[in-house]
Amino acid sequence: MKVVISATLRSFFNRESETEIEGNTITEILNGLTTKYPDSKKGLYDEHGEIRRFIRIFADDDDRTDKKRHSESLSGVKEVLILPLVAGGSPEGSIISDERRKEVTLDDKEVEQFNKHLLLREISVKGQKRIKAAKVVIVGAGALGSPVIQYLAAAGVGTIKVIDHDFVAVSNLQNQVIHSSRDIKRPKAASAKDTIRGINRNIEVIAENQMLTAENAISLLEGFDLVIDCTDNYKARYLINDACILLGIPLVFASIYQYEGMVGIFGYEDGPCLRCVFPEPPAPGLVPTCAEGGTISPLGGIIGSIQANEALKLIIGIGEHLSGKLLKVDTLGLNSHILKIKKDCNCPLCGDKPTITDVIDFDYEEFCGLNTGEDEIPVEGFTPEELAHKIESGEHLTIVDVREPHERAIIKFPDALVIPIGQLARRQKELNPQIDTVFICKEGKRSILAINTLREAGYKGAMYNLKGGMDAMKDIIFSNEGGGL
């Protein structure tokens, strides 16, 4: 019989990680061990000749520590594990069934690699097998996805799918620690896959270099045990939530902004979903729905680590989790709050009479005021090249910058008038209706909102949008300014 020895006990077994012992019962195995390794008596038995209480003995994943079971046959057992500080017992509420768990085995290398999990009585062999049996989807390989992906890989999750359509940029390296400078211009999903393989080559890694949409959400998530939302936009969050609820897959949700983060679990054991708590995205201009807010570097690591912890608890079936709760963390003020949330019986997705029966492509840009309706005047715009030509030719223009202060600190637009969107209506007298006004933002979306806001306020002057925003403009205009960063 193969006997596997935990690393913390190997000093009593000539530093060996495993050995072969003749025997068909635990009693025979223990006698064989103490005969082959006389020093093992000190590690295994106390002064009364009883197995030390910090040691557990497993026949495969069956706890045979109880002396009453030492005479039971080991027929069909593949290995005996000698582990310290490990207790058996079946976890309550695991999302991985006993049948799935029993199909999994841990080899010698895995016993050593995951020894710190095996030492925890709440995890032990059964819990680690559940982790290995788990199939998890992580949507987003950015600031949140970086710690989630790495910690779940390090924990031994058997199958990990990473979905991300973006490519690694220099600006990502500040807080997306799964990527390095060597990965710049590579797909984030491919970079994440390489990192996972570097941690544990036994993991089945599926890298999806594509955007999650209403059309593919079901097919990309179906068949997995758990989904972790590490995205950075409302559209993706609602698509993921809707697909998970329709598929019956628990969702670990998180969001970060500047110094604050939030974590919750949706769709678990008849708990609430995202739409129960936030039926629709925030109103335009209230929160950075249409703008990228800055974040301090460690924030994604802090919140993402909590996500990974919640995911592992669901997989193992241990501890108190965040279903029906939102954990809000403020790293600047150094405080946190757990907010209780309830399922909405009128929720259109998971309520008593659901009206959403499929993943729908809700037009979030229209909700944010970025699209024009049938009765609205289309928003005209200039390309970066067109605007640069107008400026260089001396054409008289008013440039209005509606970006956030932290965005302007990174790159400025020369001689631009700074007016936040919320102040446009009352400050419209600062604009000359006889002069064309060009609105700029980061990506060319908030500037459309600014134009529509002024139109509603009654401004009659000609207004134009910078297409693609400063992201598209900076290399053109600031290359002639000696660098504007």
The torsion angle over the Cα atoms of residues 330, 334, 340 and 344, rounded to 10 degrees, is 0
Q: Specify whether the CB–CB gap between 115 and 9 falls below 8 A.
A: no
Please check the confidence at residue 160 and state whether its pLDDT lies above 80. yes
The token pair at 416 is 């631009």
- 50 by Cβ neighbours in 10 Å (0-12 / 13-18 / 19+) ranks as exposed
**What is the reported pLDDT for 86?**
31
Specify the CATH class of 134-367 in words: alpha beta
Mean pLDDT of 81-99: 64
Higher pLDDT, 333 or 94: 94
350 is catalytic: no
- Compute the average pLDDT of residues 403-418: 83
Residue 98 has a CB neighbour count (10 Å cut-off) of 14
Q: Give the pLDDT confidence score for residue 13 in this predicted structure.
A: 83
pLDDT, tens only, 201-251: 999 999 999 999 999 999 999 999 999 999 987 788 999 999 999 999 999
Q: Give me the mean pLDDT over the 395-420 stretch.
A: 86
Q: Please state which CATH number belongs to domain 381-480.
A: 3.40.250.10
Give the domain 2-130 fold.
Ubiquitin-like (UB roll) (3.10.20)
C-alpha 88/C-alpha 109 separation (Å) is: 21
List the catalytic residue out of 244, 273, 290, 350: 290
| Least confident window among 226-230, 262-266, 394-398, 423-427 | 423-427
Q: How far is CA 93 from CA 130, 186, 247, 284, 306, in A?
A: 12, 39, 19, 40, 19
Share of the chain above pLDDT 70, in %: 87
- What average pLDDT does range 299-326 have in this prediction? 95
- Enter the tokens of residue 382: 């200039």
Mean pLDDT of 52-65: 77
pLDDT of residue 485: 37
Residue 184, pLDDT score: 96
Integer Cα distance of 424 and 431 in angstroms? 10
Q: Active site includes 368? A: no
Q: With a cut of 50, say whether residue 483 has pLDDT above it.
A: no
The domain spans of the chain are: 2-130, 134-367, 381-480
pLDDT at residue 445 in the model: 80
The answer, as to whether pTM is greater than 0.85, is no
Give residue 11's pLDDT. 67
Mean pLDDT over 34-45 rounds to 85
Read off the pLDDT of each residue in 359-378 and give the average, rounded to a whole number: 58
Q: How confident is the model at residue 54 (pLDDT cuts 50, 70, 90)?
A: low
